[in-house]
Amino acid sequence: MHDDDFKDINLTPALNSQASDSNLSLHHKSARRKSPSLKKKIGICLGVVIILLVGSVGAGWWLLTPANNQPVMLTIKSGASTSQVIDQLVEKGALRNAQIAKLYLKITKFNPNFKPGDYQIAPHQPNIKILLLNLKKTKPDTQRITFYPGATLDHYNSETDKTPPHRQVLKQAGYNDEQINTVFKSRQHQLFRLLPEVTNLEGLIFGDTYEIFTADTAENALKRSFDQYLKFIKQNKLVELYQKQGLTLYQGIILASIVEREVNSAEDRAKVAQVFLKRYRQGTMLGSDVTYQYASRLAGKPNDLYIKSPFNTRQVTGLPPTPIATPGKESLLAVAKPSDTDYLFFVAGDDEKTYFAKTLEEHEQNVKRYCHKKCAVH
């Protein structure tokens, strides 16, 4: 074939095809060179996101851990909310952040039911949940308080009678005068619905022993007593029984307080109650020595038989305006169910026995025979 034979052969398509193939190859190579760079960027971004997430979770969990490794003393008061306890834990250094802790409890729906009391939180608690679980399981501190039958609100009955007044009992339990004064003025308990004429709490703190939380308020401490009083009144139907004796509930309690102070022997209380009820119905003076002693104590004076006071039943007729002490269970029941006797007089002898008489003459003989020391102070 001659050279002229190649003149008519068109080589352009072939060349164009080769060029196109070459360009395509270069494009793929370029794409392959750019691809690793994009993956690298995506990987870096994912890594940053993971680090941030882990860091956030870690920081959040760190905020839920104790702030120090020392034992912490915590007092939870009666009625304190979970939020208030969390704030206390942060303040004491047992937790780092209150808002994070509260959010955690809300999300997890973990709601510990805290009881009032004094707690010691051990160090090295790993997280809030374990801390709160341990706190929940801890037995709160309690103490026992005893309100004594025959005791008054604020003063001793005599120089020889050292029955602690209720105020002293509450002070020994850790309450101050301001707290005690406030609770002594309270009339919120349903017990007082039965006692509308009450002017103070004398005789209305039920004599018994109660176990209370050390972190309880004075109001809660007395609430236990009021609960017990109301229960006793209802169980023994005192309202109905006092009505049969011609007394309101409050009048029955007043008379029971006098019986409590007059008689040491439980078996004699029903007899003494019967004597006072007879005098009350007859409209004569009750003639109770313990009432003028109470009146003297209220006035801050030595015993005065002739003291002018509505409490002194040696000088005035009827019942005192309030109880003169806390009546015990036996005295409350004695007024509700007095003995059926003909006695009109009695005297507490020096030997702590009670001597009864049907006539004034017989009574005076009993006084001369059995009451020397006690009756000499009159």
Chain segment 172-230, per-residue pLDDT in tens: 999 999 999 999 998 889 999 999 889 899 999 999 999 888 878 899 889 999 999 99
Q: How far apart are CA 166 and CA 205, in angstroms?
A: 8
Tokens of 340: 């059926």
Q: How far apart are CA 194 and CA 249, in angstroms?
A: 7
Q: How far apart are CA 197 and CA 260, in angstroms?
A: 21
The structural architecture, per CATH, of the domain 72-137 is: 2-Layer Sandwich (3.30)
**pLDDT category of residue 40 using cuts at 50, 70 and 90:** low
Q: What share of the chain is helix, strand, coil (3-state, %, to 5)?
A: 50, 10, 40
Tokens of 140: 């709160």
Q: What is the pLDDT of residue 319?
A: 96
What is the overall mean pLDDT for the chain?
81
CB distance 184 to 153 below 8 Å? yes
Nearest residue to 312 (alpha-carbon basis) of 300, 301, 302, 324 = 324
The letter for the amino acid at 54 is V
Cβ neighbors of 278 (< 8 A, separation 6 or more) are: 344
Exposure pattern of 348-374 as b/e (b: 16+ CB <10 Å)?
A: bbeeeebbbbeeeeebeebbeebbeee
**pLDDT category of residue 299 using cuts at 50, 70 and 90:** very high
Q: Chain-centre distance of CA 16, in angstroms?
A: 99
Tokens of 329: 């269970």
The SS3 assignment for 159 reads coil
Nearest residue to 154 (alpha-carbon basis) of 193, 181, 114, 190 = 181
Q: How many CA atoms lie within 13 A of 189 on its CB side?
A: 24
Q: What is the pLDDT of residues 107-152, one digit of tens each?
A: 888 777 777 877 777 766 666 777 777 766 666 678 899 999 999 9
- Per domain, the residue ranges of the chain are 72-137, 146-341
**pLDDT category of residue 106 using cuts at 50, 70 and 90:** confident
